[in-house]
């Protein structure tokens, strides 16, 4: 009985081993090729008009904090998520999210969704909630309080802008950036 099971397992392994895996591998490669390679920019001025709109905005509506995260989807299209209570880590709510979508039109970007309407122009979002409450949000750039601080004692520094030795195949490219496609030695 054990001999038959062993023989059956061997036959099963032989069948799997001889299956035409090349076809599956080719299919996987084609799917990977279908993903468009998106450009990367190190200079905001070269990133295009969508980049100037994308970002975080904050202000208030009816005396309550309101935040918004605007994501550029490309080709003048945007997703904006309004966050009653404020931006993440500054919020008093943290759960409610109102998702809107929009596109570039004359004079700015128009957003609409879940009863909310808004327009982005000159680094400001003005609009109305579904209850009709008006709001104005201003673009902000939050910075970590630890930005530029030295690493804590005992920390492993993976990349300091100068030394790529903590990365397999690590090399520096334009303006001391670490080339992509590398894996940490850790």
Q: Do residues 72 and 130 both lie within one domain? A: yes
Q: Tell me whether strands 64-74 and 98-105 are parallel, antiparallel or unpaired.
A: unpaired
Within a domain: 110: yes
For residue 15, the model assigns a pLDDT of: 39
For residue 107, the model assigns a pLDDT of: 80
For residue 28, the model assigns a pLDDT of: 58
Q: How distant is the alpha carbon of residue 143 from its chain centre?
A: 17
How many CA atoms does the CB half-sphere of 12 hold within 13 Å? 6
Q: Do residues 171 and 101 both lie within one domain? A: no
Query: Which mean pLDDT values do the consecutive 10-residue runs of the chain (186 residues) have?
Result: 41 42 57 64 83 95 95 95 92 86 93 97 96 97 90 90 90 84 89
For residue 186, the model assigns a pLDDT of: 86
State which residues form the domain around 182: 158-186
Residue 69's CATH number: 2.40.128.120
Within a domain: 150: no
For residue 20, the model assigns a pLDDT of: 53
Q: How distant is the alpha carbon of residue 29 from its chain centre?
A: 24
Quote the number of domains for the chain.
Answer: 2
């Amino acid at each position: 009985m054990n001999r038959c099971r062993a023989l059956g397992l061997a036959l099963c392994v032989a069948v799997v081993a001889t299956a035409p895996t090349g076809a599956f591998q080719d299919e996987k490669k084609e799917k990977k090729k279908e993903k468009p390679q998106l450009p990367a920019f190190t200079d905001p001025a070269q990133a295009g008009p969508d980049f100037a709109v994308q970002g975080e905005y904050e202000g208030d509506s009816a005396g309550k904090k309101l935040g918004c995260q605007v994501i550029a989807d490309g080709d003048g299209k945007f997703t904006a998520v309004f966050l009653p209570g404020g931006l993440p880590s500054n919020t008093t709510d943290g759960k409610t999210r109102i998702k809107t979508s929009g596109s570039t039109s004359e004079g700015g970007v128009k957003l609409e969704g879940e009863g909310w309407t808004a327009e982005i122009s000159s680094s400001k979002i003005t609009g109305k909630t579904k209850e009709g409450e008006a709001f104005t949000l201003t673009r902000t750039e939050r910075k970590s309080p630890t930005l530029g601080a030295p690493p804590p004692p005992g920390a492993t520094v993976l990349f300091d802008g100068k030394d790529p030795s903590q990365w397999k195949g690590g090399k520096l490219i334009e303006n001391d950036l670490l080339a992509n496609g590398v894996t940490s030695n850790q």
